[in-house]
Structure 1
Amino acid sequence: MDLIDIFQRLGLAIAIGAAVGVERHWRERDEPEGARIAGIRTFTLIGMTGGLAGLLDAVLAPGSLSGLIVASFLISVSVVLLRFGLMEARAEGSFSATTVIAGITTFGLGALAVTGEMAVASAAGAAMVTVLASREFLHGAIRRLTWVELRSAVILLAMGFVLLPLIPADPYGPFGGVSPRSIVILVIMLASISYVGYVAVRLIGGGRGDLIAGAVGGLVSSTATTLAMARQSELAANAAGPSAGAMAAGSVSLIRTGLLLFALAPTLAERLLPGLLVAGGLMLMGAIALVARAGPSSEADLPGNPFELSQVIKMALLITVIAFVARAASQILGDGGLYIVSGLTALADVDAMTVTVAGMLPGLPLDVATTAIGIAVTANMLAKVVYAAAAGSRGFALRLAAISLLALVSGFVVTFAAGLV
């Protein structure tokens, strides 16, 4: 390390300590002098001490002795923090170890900033300050979360970090086969989106209105949400609220499809994302306009937990079957077979076909993939209008049909214009 690099790394160590110190000092700003074990000055010095320990270790203890100086400093800092933390706990009758752990972590990040990757140290420092500053939000979130939601989060983590590494990645079966690991990854991605949206609304506290319930329902299944809103429109005195919920569900579904394509197949997203965003934006504006004109929306129950294990299994089976049928139809019947599968599958769900077509690239021609996704999105939107007419009130069906037609036409125009550029 040259002199400039040393100053940069040591400066980052000091900055991390200062950032943590600001948060800790602000939280205990009303305490009198001497009543807190560590504030902005102490944490800044802890970060600097970690950086200096790393620097001394690199200079004085190379080779097999590397790490001894950092370990010695860490033990000393930990002992001091633990002693004063214990004194504070006895004086205040508290059992919080947050400040002590934050001090030890600050020392470690200061040492990492000097001896390791600066980007990792910087990101970890920012994450630590965010966690420390979010105490009220996190505590409130835990109080409001139910056991079902917590259990679902544990299942999600287990699937991602325990089950996924054990799943084989090689494809199995005819027509190119299906990779079990790819299916599990996609299932986790879809379920995570749904779960985060569900929990966010639970924590924000806006999940009682038709608009919010429809938007969250669109994360789970826009088709099922439309049917639920259609049934509600028959019972409601004013169908504007359920109509707004169905529009919000359709908007979220379109935007989510675009984001899935952006994550899975960027070349395909370049063609379809502008149109999907415009169509989804129009449906969302229509929903907001209805709610604003109708006044306070009627209450609507949130959909069930979007990450129940049964739903995950069904999603995995659906994606597997659709992937196999789409590949088989494409090879046996050509492009027309894929188009038929796209249209039929989208009568219930558009995500499975989106994931399947994206997974068939780059072996599938881009024009064919674009057409297949376009057919799936169109069929799904038209199917929801038909369901609305069959299960909902006349006003509900007319509103949804009008905004869906406007969104489809606008989306096609934007997609076509984007393809000419």
Structure 2
Amino acid sequence: MRYMVAYDLMETMRNTNQWLGASALSFASSPCFSAIPNPALSWMAAWGEVTERTFQRMIVKPDWGIHTVTCEDGKDHLVEVDTVVERPFGDLIHFHVAGRKPQPRRVLLVAPMSGHYATLLRSTVKSLMENCEVYVTDWHNARDIPVSAGKFDVEDYTQYLVDFMRELGNDIHVVAVCQPVPLTLAATAYLAEQDPKAQPSSLTLIGGPVDPDATPTDVTDFGRRVTMGQLEETAIQRVGFKYKGVGRKVYPGLLQLSSFMSMNMERHSKAFADQIGRVAQGDASDHDPHNRFYDEYLAVMDMPAEFYLSTVERIFKNREIAKNAFVVNGHKVDLSKITDVAIKTVEGAKDDISAPGQCIAALDLCTGLDDSKKASHVEPNAGHYGIFAGRSWRNNIRPLVIDFMNSNSRTTAPNQKTAAE
């Protein structure tokens, strides 16, 4: 029960700060002060506006915000988000482009369940939608999932991926980003043994901890230092009475966000101070760089406790994927059984979360895969975020990934010539 009290206390603190911001904005913006040229009131209103928005966005799932896409015909086409498979802990969604012929190149983008929503991959989705049919794993906030839905750990996550791949068929190209990379590799190996005809055409693994010990970082060091007992005692809480998932054990998004912020507190503090100044001077807008970044960065979701703890224990501490000893539903997954799925790894030279070496380890584990079906790329000067979003992704990495898909497609992609041609 004390964990539930702690969860409600964090929510109360968040709600109080949001209220303080709204109150300051309302008070300083009162018409009765309009005739008083006092700059302190402008700064108070600016502080209130930034504070209210900051704490309000923490509990709101961002919208995908992808309403249209410009296709090869030069026209803007409306985009609809359709749910293909609906599950308690996550859905498989499809970005349907109205009025466009279905694209032969179909992509499943596996989003991480690491504290942020799948919308973190918004720019990745938009870039792929230009000439691909894009499907995304849209994970749910654990606080909104009733306890009656049961548990959800790394094995359940892997089984979800297996089911999603089966649903989409073997002409799908899978792209996994960050945290789900090792589990996506395991899901592919599981299919290779249990249902070979459902294996994807290709697998692109971007910046994930297949072997965390290959190149240690602060993230892997933390996993080594903290015992599972300490982690469960300090990080896990029960969802409070306000949400549908009341009583469910979770790793709260607000707790993870505070950890993220504390790692770069000086940088974040300066960013918010500068934003208050811009608002006071009338230079800010809803879609300025600060708001675009923090609207997504501050929107956090709770993770099921079983998933968080099993990730730390089985992926980082025990290195079950790196040792080819991962078990799903009592079945030991053998990565060497992958023989017909082309695999490409992508790493960032300046990635301080999944450093170079952690992801490429997947290629050595797939001993049954011919070298001609293996590829790797290390992007110079790119950090963790840059390898799946931003300039490095758009200009350098995305074209390589598209070429890799075309070279290993079971159907002919647009503008791709066959051998006969």
TM-score with structure 2 length normalisation? 0.23
Q: Larger RCO: Structure 1 or Structure 2 (Cα < 8 Å, ≥ 6 residues apart)? A: 2
| Larger proportion of strand | 2
User: Highest Rg: 1 or 2?
Assistant: 1
| Larger proportion of helix | 1
